[in-house]
Structure 1
Amino acid sequence: MEDILRPIYQERASQANTIGVLMIEKKKKKFPTTDTFDFILLIIIKSGEQPVFVKHYTFNDKKAAMHIVTQAQLNEWMLLGNNRKIFDWLYEGKVLFDRNEYIANLKRELMEFPFYGRKMKMGIEFARLIRRYTDGKAFFDEYHYLDAYNYVVQSLHHLARLAVIENGFHPEVTVWHQVKNIDPEIYKLYQELVCSEETLEKRLELLFLASEFLIHSRTQIGSSHILSVLEEKASWSFNEMLNHPELKAYSVDLGILLEYLIDKNLIKIVREDTKGQAIFHRYYQVAEKLF
């Protein structure tokens, strides 16, 4: 099959902008890693007009997809974890072209998973966890149990991913397979939520209690990144945080994370006068004693 696809990737590999080409072959009929395609050609380029360009091909009774991805987009996926398949592609893909050992170095970095990269990813997952848990609890308190269930499942996924990252691994598509060995307690919680014969209300009630403890136990490691950034200066406006290069990745979850850390006395509010009476600017600073 590689011979059939060779003219496609060789044309791209000959271009100076291309820094790596991998081929990923579907291994199981119904496994989602390749989106049902028999082959994926992942072509990584330095830069491009589009961050992602996809083209589909068919030959004999097979189908293939070519994904041309900029280096910046690849880095974003790896940081935010919003394209989990990319890790499988990088781990399992056959290297067809590698300019200046870019892919070899990338794989080495994935395996070593530098601590600072983990710290930032844990912060992002922790923020997502707080958002889903808070929304789920609000729905539960209003007796919207099905909506609460949906958010609790999502919060457990973020808790699971956080545990995986904490242990030095990248979360994969089969994250629950990873968590079963890494953190059986979280795996057991998930099983109790989806398999228990208790009423939905009772399951949710128990899950919120257990989740609250697990979230609290991970507050230190989950907030370590944002607090280290905020220590760069005395106080911050929310807009300054929102536009900081490292905090942009927290996106819409930054506000809810900030309020959580205020509630936990890890961040304190600083008031400054405005031109109006009895209304103040709200700024934020890291509390003197973090933990």
Structure 2
Amino acid sequence: MDDILRPLYQERASNENTLGVLDVEKTKAFSPGTDHFDSILLIIVKESDQPWMIKHYEFQSGSAALHVVTEELLNSWLMLGTNKRAVDWVMNGKVLFNRNEYITRLRDRLHEFPAEERTHKIGLEFAKLLRRYNDGKELFHSGQYLDAFNNIMHALHHLARLSVIEHGYYPEVTVWNQVKMIQPEIFKLYEELVTGEESIDKRIELLLLASEFSLSSKTKLGANHLLSIIKQKDEWAYHELMEHSEVQDYAIDLPMLLTHLKDKGYIKTVKRETKSKNLYHRYYAIKE
């Protein structure tokens, strides 16, 4: 297969814009990890007008998909978890081209999971956990049990990913296998929700209580990224926080996260006068 696919990447490898080329081969008959292609060629480039370009090919003995992705988009996938296959491709793909050890350094980074990246990713997962928990709680109290079930299941998934990251590992597609070994009590919560014999409303009620405890116990850890940013100056207007480059990844959940931190006593709101009587700007600051 290498001889057939070589022309697809050989010319690109000679281009200085190309950082690395990986080949991910199908190993099982049922292979969603490769979109059921026999081979995925992942070409990482410094920059491109098109951040992600895909081409599909067929040959006598099978099929292949070519993915050309910019370094910036790949890093976004790895941080946000929006393309979970990317972690597997980078970690397990066969290296066909490795300019200045780029892929080697990328893999080392994923293995080591630097503290700064870990803190950022924990913040993302905590914000999503908080959103799903609150949505699930609201739906439960309005009697929408199936929708509540869905949200609580997602909340547990974010709690599981947060736990994996907390222990210094990168969350994989099979995150529950990781959690089962790292923090079995979270795995048991998931089992109880999915396979418990009690009625669905009772299972959700129990999981809401457990999730509320987890939210309280994980708040300092989960909000450390945002709190470290708020500490950078005395007061922040909401739009200033929302537009901060490191907060934009979870800006959609920022209002709920700020409310949670205020309720838990980590931050306070500060009123500043506007031109209108009895109407104030709201600012956010660390509570000393």
Q: TM-score scaled to structure 1, two decimals?
A: 0.97
What amino acid is aligned across from residue 226 of structure 1 in structure 2? L
**Secondary structure of the corresponding residue to residue 218 of structure 1:** helix
- State the alpha-carbon separation in 1 of the partners of residues 31 and 218 from structure 2: 32
TM-superposed deviation, 1:81: 1.4
> What residue in structure 2 maps to residue 52 of structure 1?
52
> What residue in structure 2 maps to residue 159 of structure 1?
159
- State the alpha-carbon separation in 2 of the partners of residues 179 and 92 from structure 1: 21
> What residue in structure 2 maps to residue 249 of structure 1?
249
What amino acid is aligned across from residue 178 of structure 2 in structure 1? Q
Matched, 1:200 2:187: no
Structure 2 unmatched ranges of 5 or more? none
- State the alpha-carbon separation in 1 of the partners of residues 264 and 111 from structure 2: 34
What amino acid is aligned across from residue 29 of structure 2 in structure 1? K
TM-superposed deviation, 1:33: 1.5
**Secondary structure of the corresponding residue to residue 148 of structure 1:** helix
TM-superposed deviation, 1:17: 0.9
- State the alpha-carbon separation in 1 of the partners of residues 175 and 21 from structure 2: 26
What amino acid is aligned across from residue 27 of structure 2 in structure 1? K
Structure 1 unmatched ranges of 5 or more? none
Matched, 1:221 2:221: yes
Matched, 1:233 2:233: yes
- State the alpha-carbon separation in 2 of the partners of residues 118 and 63 from structure 1: 37
Q: TM-score scaled to structure 2, two decimals?
A: 0.98
- State the alpha-carbon separation in 2 of the partners of residues 198 and 210 from structure 1: 16
Deviations 1:50-98 (A, max 9, x none): 1100111111241111110001101111111111111111110010001
Deviations 1:149-174 (A, max 9, x none): 11001101100000000010111111
The number of aligned residues is 288
> What residue in structure 1 maps to residue 84 of structure 2?
84
> What residue in structure 2 maps to residue 182 of structure 1?
182
What amino acid is aligned across from residue 60 of structure 1 in structure 2? Q
Matched, 1:262 2:262: yes
> What residue in structure 2 maps to residue 211 of structure 1?
211
- State the alpha-carbon separation in 2 of the partners of residues 220 and 91 from structure 1: 31
> What residue in structure 2 maps to residue 69 of structure 1?
69
- State the alpha-carbon separation in 1 of the partners of residues 5 and 251 from structure 2: 39
- State the alpha-carbon separation in 2 of the partners of residues 33 and 216 from structure 1: 36
> What residue in structure 1 maps to residue 33 of structure 2?
33
- State the alpha-carbon separation in 2 of the partners of residues 156 and 26 from structure 1: 31
TM-superposed deviation, 1:2: 1.1
> What residue in structure 2 maps to residue 98 of structure 1?
98
- State the alpha-carbon separation in 2 of the partners of residues 6 and 111 from structure 1: 29
- State the alpha-carbon separation in 1 of the partners of residues 201 and 2 from structure 2: 54
Q: Which moved more, 1:186-195 or 1:78-87?
A: 78-87
> What residue in structure 2 maps to residue 145 of structure 1?
145
After TM superposition, the runs of 4+ consecutive aligned structure 1 residues lying more than 6 A away are none
